[in-house]
Amino acid sequence: LDVPPRAEPISKLPEELRDHLTREFVHTSSVTMPAASDILLEPPMERGEMKPRSSEECSFASVSDRQKHERFFYDAVKILLEDAVFKGTSRSNKVLEWRDPIKLMQLLDLKLEDSPVTHDKLLALMKDTIQYSVKTGHPYFVNQLFSSVDPYGLIGQWLGDALNPSVYTYEVSPVFTLMEETVLSEMRKIVGFTTGDGIFCPGGSIANGYAISCARYHKLPQVKTQGLHGLPRLVLYTSADAHYSIKKMAVLQGIGSDNVCLIKTDKRGKMDVNDLQCKINETIKEGAVPFMVSATAGTTVLGAFDPITQIADICRTHKLWLHVDAAWGGGALISKKYKHLLNGIERADSVTWNPHKLLTAPQQCSTFLTRHPDILSACHSANATYLFQKDKFYDTKYDTGDKHI
């Protein structure tokens, strides 16, 4: 299976691979004609390219073909817009039609088929999927820290899907690379960073993980090559009400959950800075090394904002990386009335901010922002030469993939 590493016409691929991309496993089945009400929205018929629907061929074709797929695409979009977007977000309908897992498995035909099914069967399955799914864009869906199906965000996602990009280098994703940097740069300005860097992450948990990774590297750069073995015991601090991802990512990164020091909160759920100072002193007495505080701007359950300015003062004293997990509460930065809740965030070393939460961008839209312009590259680059070589015919500062894990 020695596929050449450079682009070749599909005709030069080994036969079976080529077949995989183009072959269609066709069988014919009879399907009933659709009711008139189902054809409110028809694809352009004047082209005369549509097959009659009554003897529909089924296929596993992986390349979109106007003749085979145009009607399916438009029928599917009609269902999506009607059922999921318009009806699914109307106050007169339910957020969820609840079924127990066992019952739902009986109601839905989830079994994997050996042969292709008709487009009508697929459309029916789509309708079922919508019917029994939670309508997260419904105005009454507000308890999971995200909501809304923003119409422009939705079309933006559909655009991304239709182009199916991978955004690791400029050459493979020129437009999206520039879009990302435009948005990240604006977000850094809003945070108050005058310089820095940022990346989009698969979720707020991973964004918090980037903070731990950068903080650790900033304190002890040799961790990149040597690992934690042989280094002092590192301790990070976050409030008892912080998101569970801080602990999860500390476990993943070999810090260990015992070295995630949970700081007391006051009755409103804010971090107690006196307790923070005490715990840092204890760590130092134990001979371990404090390296990071993760403050939370908008805790998960209570929505509390930690006192960032006071925490920043402590971090300055002890040379600790200050991270602000503003995954949820970051949205308040664009509110004149509430942005004071994040006072001091401009002094942070890094920030997690998820526009898919309070700003109703589609999921996932999670960002990691830092005021250190070079640390993401320094901390994470592996310099894979086949992808991130530096002798390209354009400025490779736009190849951002090597900053990522």
Shorter beta-carbon distance to a copy of itself: residue 186 or 309: 186
Shorter beta-carbon distance to a copy of itself: residue 269 or 313: 269
Q: Is 111 exposed, middle or buried (0-12, 13-18, 19+ CB in 10 A)?
A: exposed
Least Å from the CB of residue 131 to a copy of itself: 9
Token pair of 402 as six digits: 């090597």
Least Å from the CB of residue 369 to a copy of itself: 16
Count the neighbouring beta carbons within 10 Å of the beta carbon of residue 271.
Answer: 30
Least Å from the CB of residue 332 to a copy of itself: 6
Shorter beta-carbon distance to a copy of itself: residue 54 or 64: 64
Shorter beta-carbon distance to a copy of itself: residue 251 or 314: 251
Shorter beta-carbon distance to a copy of itself: residue 30 or 164: 164
Shorter beta-carbon distance to a copy of itself: residue 58 or 263: 58
Chain CA centroid to CA 67, Å:
35
Signed CA dihedral, 61, 64, 67, 72: sign only: positive
d(C-alpha 16, C-alpha 131), whole Å: 39
Shorter beta-carbon distance to a copy of itself: residue 48 or 101: 101
Shorter beta-carbon distance to a copy of itself: residue 140 or 316: 140
Least Å from the CB of residue 49 to a copy of itself: 11
Shorter beta-carbon distance to a copy of itself: residue 31 or 77: 77
Least Å from the CB of residue 231 to a copy of itself: 7
- Cα angle 12, 14, 17 (rounded to 5 degrees) comes to 110
Least Å from the CB of residue 11 to a copy of itself: 9
Radius of gyration of the chain (CA): 26
Listing DSSP states for 212-229 in one string gives HHHHHHHH-TTHHHH-ST
Least Å from the CB of residue 317 to a copy of itself: 24
3-state secondary structure of 268: coil
3-state secondary structure of 291: strand
Least Å from the CB of residue 316 to a copy of itself: 26
Give the β-pairing of 57-58 and 27-28. antiparallel
Token pair of 60 as six digits: 């596993």
Assess contact for 291 and 321: CB atoms under 8 A.
Answer: yes
Single-letter code of the amino acid located at 241: D
Query: Helix H segments across 7-150?
Result: 15-22, 66-79, 101-107, 119-132
Least Å from the CB of residue 144 to a copy of itself: 6
Token pair of 152 as six digits: 């422009």
d(C-alpha 315, C-alpha 31), whole Å: 68
